[in-house]
Amino acid sequence: MDDGGDAASADGAAPARFFAAPGTLYVVATPLGNLRDLTFRAVDILSSVDTIAAEDTRVSGVLLRHHGIATRPVSLHEHNEAARAVRIVEELRAGKSVALVSDAGTPAISDPGARLVRAVRDAGLAVVPIPGACAAIAAVSAAGLEAQRWLFLGFLPSAAKARRELLASIARDPAALVIYEAPHRVRATVAELGAALGGERSLVVAREITKKFETITMTTLGEAPGWFAADPNRERGEFVLVVDAPVTDGSSEASSVDARRLLMALVAELPPARAARVAAAATGLPRDVLYAQALSLKTSQS
């Protein structure tokens, strides 16, 4: 059977093994750290495709050997993705099947792969997701958020100005924020989050998810710098930072709506910087937050 078969037989018996279909790209989620987190269906597909396009063939090789998968991986990373995508589209058109994997988690989410997926879709060929581990989902599931929705920001921009503008633009959004971060930047990023969003907001630090030294800690943005400083080991590993939504009451939400309406009217008549100054004076809200919103409104009106 091909990958389009039924997940289980009518009598409830175990499903038959899946086989990769020709001319199809499979986007396969792989474990974050624990090699047993690879799904049965992922094993079937990785074992039956003609090619595995991997972010790092050495990392993927460990996983493949562990599960007895003999399919040979080829590299697909940020530096060769455009060229590799052309080659893979040719292979798919010739009837081959290809699996895309990243070093850990779901490909094309803050990892290479989106350009390849787009090229395959533009060519009119099939793309099939094989779901599984995702660091963002794992962290949110263990965070116990008050927020009803959340925004995935991935890695914040590397330029300081771009980071500030992004955080200012969403500082008062009633949603949780989910951010990826590397160990050498995590303390600086947490400090920036506290400055931009306020120290009272709840923070869940998810470190080394599914690995031996997994740590999932709840604190606040104000207390987080002290938590990191208390133990150098807390800076090691890969991080997901989950910042819960700001705590607001009905009156503050109404004020936010009123401020946005005022800002919309001002932006129609004034440059964004001046509109933000006037709105800040009238509402008492931070001018940098209003300026970022004014820029967004000006862009949408133009």
Same domain, 162 and 95: no
Averaged pLDDT score across all residues of the chain: 89
Whether residue 15 lies inside any domain: the answer is no
Structural domain count of the chain: 3
Same domain, 205 and 262: no
Q: What angle do CA 76, 66, 40 make, to 5 degrees?
A: 85
Whether residue 16 lies inside any domain: the answer is no
Instruction: Answer positive or negative: Cα dihedral of 149, 221, 156, 172.
Output: positive
Same domain, 125 and 153: no
Residue 54: other Cβ atoms inside 10 A: 27
**Is 60 exceeded by the pLDDT of residue 8?**
no
**How many angstroms separate the CA atoms of 228 and 185, rounded?**
12
CATH number at residue 231: 3.30.950.10
Same domain, 35 and 121: yes
192-202: pLDDT as tens digits? 999 999 888 99
Mean pLDDT for 142-155 is 94
**Is 70 exceeded by the pLDDT of residue 134?**
yes
Same domain, 145 and 239: yes
Same domain, 141 and 127: no
Same domain, 183 and 276: no
Using the 3D structure, point to which of 77, 110, 133 is the last residue of a domain: 133
Is 9 exposed, middle or buried (CB count within 10 Å of its CB: 0-12, 13-18, 19+)?
Answer: exposed
Mean pLDDT for 181-191 is 95
**Is 50 exceeded by the pLDDT of residue 186?**
yes
Residue 266: other Cβ atoms inside 10 A: 21
Same domain, 211 and 263: no
**How many angstroms separate the CA atoms of 216 and 200, rounded?**
19
Same domain, 79 and 144: no
Same domain, 117 and 44: yes
Cα separations in angstroms, 200 against 138, 174, 207, 219, 236 = 24, 14, 21, 9, 25
Whether residue 284 lies inside any domain: the answer is yes
**Is 60 exceeded by the pLDDT of residue 66?**
yes
What is the dihedral angle through the alpha carbons of 124, 83, 102, 186, rounded to the nearest 10 degrees? -120
Same domain, 30 and 129: yes
**Is 90 exceeded by the pLDDT of residue 210?**
yes
Whether residue 1 lies inside any domain: the answer is no
Using the 3D structure, point to which of 84, 111, 133 is the last residue of a domain: 133
**How many angstroms separate the CA atoms of 206 and 203, rounded?**
10
Mean pLDDT for 79-95 is 96
Whether residue 118 lies inside any domain: the answer is yes
CATH number at residue 57: 3.40.1010.10
pLDDT for residue 297: 75
- Inter-residue contact 25 to 98 (CB < 8 Å): yes
Whether residue 63 lies inside any domain: the answer is yes
Cα–Cα nearest to 238, from 175, 167, 179: 179
250-278: pLDDT as tens digits? 444 445 557 778 888 888 888 888 988 88
Whether residue 114 lies inside any domain: the answer is yes
Whether residue 70 lies inside any domain: the answer is yes
Collapsed DSSP state (helix, strand, coil) of residue 195: helix
Using the 3D structure, point to which of 101, 133, 165 is the last residue of a domain: 133
- Inter-residue contact 73 to 57 (CB < 8 Å): yes
Cα separations in angstroms, 174 against 197, 218, 249 = 12, 19, 11
**How many angstroms separate the CA atoms of 256 and 11, rounded?**
56
Q: What is the DSSP string of 73-112?
A: EEE--TTTHHHHHHHHHHHHHTT--EEEE-SSBSTTSSST
Same domain, 140 and 129: no
Domain extent for 205: 136-243
Q: Which amino acid is at 135?
A: A
Mean pLDDT for 88-102 is 98
